[in-house]
Structure 1
């Protein structure tokens, strides 16, 4: 039937169903789940996951992974806080200097993967461990706090209204830009081609190596920027923050319809996946569940999402045949 063919052609079908199911379950368990306060909390949590997930999605579409985003998420705000809080540098200059290591890490990841043909999983796992160790050694394991006020920090992570923070605004901006780049530009077409059929893409003259290196840089920069937004929101940075974040954003991308093998993905789907992650976080907190239940839920959702996406893909292909 035509309506079913149209329905199964929607890549975000699974995550939309997950959002509806989560909303119903958590609302039944605790009616406060749909309150304005909880909505603001969900959006704030989803925004931080979602911005990074957008970068990861674009990278995964081009056929690669980045496991270093969790460590970069801690590295950049740590450098920023050290420079402007402890060394009294200009806050803008400090932010720029803090983001440089993220860009260089993305560049290094991309060049090692593309030039030396090393699996991106291994390369970024190595840079993840390297930067996490550097941050812990440099800080001695102690957080850095900021007790002043700044327009820049307010714009990055301050409160807009009703518990909603500027991170939500930046999330919308990043989502619109990410969608536009992937769906309306030549570079977006190059990303899909590089991840789907890289050999054919090279034969067509597409700069696959350059595309992947650029996407590694985008992924790392977004992770570092969101880490700085988190510092601006909380006025503190911990060297342990972001542990496990890389898996959370990959899950958000996958349940949003991004293929692990590359060539398929959606910024909209990843944003919805981040929203689902935020809903699960807030819902479990309202239920008073121990924090480690979140990890269990994410793992279960990942398995179900992959199974569902594979099933939908097969049904869609069979109906289109």
Structure 2
């Protein structure tokens, strides 16, 4: 019998065979294991009303920057300046909110402070991308240089302006600005309203609200009032950024260009793909994600610190790899990155729900799962490409 063609072989594959070929399947399995392990070890506390909110907050922070890092990695490049960009963006916004704008422009509103900061970070992203594509140097080395340069310039510059690399005690702009509330307020309050209603129903049926099972079934505190009233706004932005990234990668020509650029930039260029513009645009996208990360923090906590974002670039890359993104480019998925963010976010926050665990084990876990993901991703890639 003649050997089956590649297309015939793919058509005869079962649902399970097709599923295990997907880049995000490893991240999904690990995520499920972590969820059940944390549920059991925390005695359910990690997923009660407050625990779920806190976990989603950390997951969203990781997810926002990991999306930018992942798309750039799919295109075959790295950006190690993401963490420094977070510190720069946060301090820029905070100083404008505290001292107003120079040149007689008056007091900065949250929207204006954000727009000016975004213009600066996008310009930096464009400049970093331009240096990478014009020089032909490794993006790892170029962005490592900008990691140090931007972090140092941020600390020195803002110390000269503010006499400190920290800004605290900003007014709560969420009370008067819809834009600040959109970035630093609460979202999806209806979810917790429903949770509260369910809890109140069981209380009316005579179930003790202090019962351990009940902490999973209702958003009630010991006084019988609503415990949590919504998720942090960064959850909304994580969903928005993820949805846009998914649409771009899977439904647009730009998505095809990104994959082609990371797979073989010379072949992509020969087929009319604007490789340099794609890469520069993705460096700007990582700068945008860093700015959103910083803005959500500033408007939520009413503080900023030039040291914010330290090591976040490494977590972003690690999450992207755990989510199925190849270090060599041309392979990855947004869904996998989301699974990776959930996994790393839950483990990083586990120490708050399981006090007996030493927090240093989080780094051990990230290192182990990262190494395992590299091997798993390579095997999945070879399975998809037929061993090429």
TM-score band, normalised by the shorter chain? over 0.9
CA offsets, 1:139-173, max 9 Å, x none? 44542121333322211021233351111111111
Q: Distance in 2 between matches of 1:12 and 1:113?
A: 29
| The structure with more radius of gyration | 2
Deviation at 1:86, TM superposition (A): 2.1
- Corresponding residue SS for 1:128: helix
Query: Which of 34, 38, 48 is equivalent to 2:51?
Result: 38
Query: Residue in 2 aligned with 1:17?
Result: 29
Unmatched runs of 5 consecutive residues or more in structure 2: 1-12, 101-106, 190-227
Q: Distance in 2 between matches of 1:285 and 1:30?
A: 9
Query: Which of 232, 235, 238 is equivalent to 2:299?
Result: 232
Deviation at 1:316, TM superposition (A): 4.7
Q: Distance in 2 between matches of 1:241 and 1:50?
A: 16
Query: Residue in 2 aligned with 1:306?
Result: 374
Q: Is the 8 A contact 1:74 1:224 kept in 2?
A: no
Query: Residue in 2 aligned with 1:106?
Result: 125
Q: Distance in 2 between matches of 1:280 and 1:91?
A: 33
Kindly tell me the number of residue pairs found equivalent between the two proteins: 320
Q: Is the 8 A contact 1:8 1:316 kept in 2?
A: no
Q: Is the 8 A contact 1:43 1:164 kept in 2?
A: yes
- TM-score norm. by structure 2 comes to 0.78
Query: Residue in 2 aligned with 1:2?
Result: 14
Query: Residue in 1 aligned with 2:180?
Result: 153
Query: Residue in 1 aligned with 2:323?
Result: 256
Q: Distance in 2 between matches of 1:167 and 1:148?
A: 17
Q: Distance in 2 between matches of 1:75 and 1:63?
A: 25
CA offsets, 1:97-152, max 9 Å, x none? 11222111111111111111010001111111111112222344542121333322
Q: Distance in 2 between matches of 1:3 and 1:99?
A: 44
Query: Residue in 1 aligned with 2:81?
Result: 68
Deviation at 1:209, TM superposition (A): 0.7
Q: Distance in 1 between matches of 2:51 and 2:148?
A: 34
- Corresponding residue SS for 2:328: coil
Q: Is the 8 A contact 1:8 1:315 kept in 2?
A: no
**Where in structure 2 are the equivalents of 1:1-321 lying within 5 Å?**
2-31=14-43, 32-87=45-100, 88-140=107-159, 141-145=164-168, 146-150=170-174, 151=177, 152-160=179-187, 161=189, 162=228, 163-288=230-355, 289-317=357-385
- Corresponding residue SS for 2:332: coil
Q: Distance in 2 between matches of 1:21 and 1:239?
A: 36
Unmatched runs of 5 consecutive residues or more in structure 1: none
Q: Distance in 2 between matches of 1:112 and 1:27?
A: 47
Deviation at 1:298, TM superposition (A): 1.4
- Corresponding residue SS for 1:287: coil
- Corresponding residue SS for 1:265: coil
Deviation at 1:315, TM superposition (A): 4.3
- TM-score norm. by structure 1 comes to 0.94
Deviation at 1:65, TM superposition (A): 0.4
Worse overlay, 75-84 or 87-96: 87-96
